[in-house]
Structure 1
Amino acid sequence: MVIGSSSSPVEVTNISGFGIWLLVREKEMFLPYDEFPWFKDRPVREIVNVEEPQPGHFYWPELDVDLTEEIIEQPERFPMRVKQLI
């Protein structure tokens, strides 16, 4: 780690009843639960534990969720299928 550099280029800045907000290098992105249901009703500690293994690629290890900046910004281009347990 370089002294003075940020060790966390991605940060969850808000969790609301509608979704979560990510701050990535001074850019905010909103992930609504309608498009990203994996975050709804999850413990805060799991949601805020986000990594950026590569620029623009985000991973939540406790949720096993992988997303890219492109998917977050244009979810309509990437139809997601969610399996619901009965």
Structure 2
Amino acid sequence: AQTLLSTDQRFRDPALAASAYAEAWALNYFLLRTRKDQYVTFLRKLAVQPPLTPADEARRLSEFKAVFGGDLQKFDTEFIRYMSRIR
């Protein structure tokens, strides 16, 4: 999830866009199902940012970590484990 969170580059690459959107959908699904309150907090933080103002990688990651915790490897493990059970 780290590359998905830190940059939009995969969405801009035609060869990677479909997988990026699939991963983004899965991440949204996971967060809504397992961390709804944190997700709402995160979305509210994003909503107050100036529109069309891109954030750098470090800022994007720090904002995510501030809400969901700093261990992205642990987060990824939980995310992958959860999504692997979805049929």
TM-score scaled to structure 2, two decimals?
A: 0.30
Structure 1 or 2: more helix by fraction: 2
TM-score scaled to structure 1, two decimals?
A: 0.31
Structure 1 or 2: more strand by fraction: 1
Q: Looking at both structures, which has the greater relative contact order when contacts are Cα pairs under 8 Å and sequence separation is at least 6?
A: 2
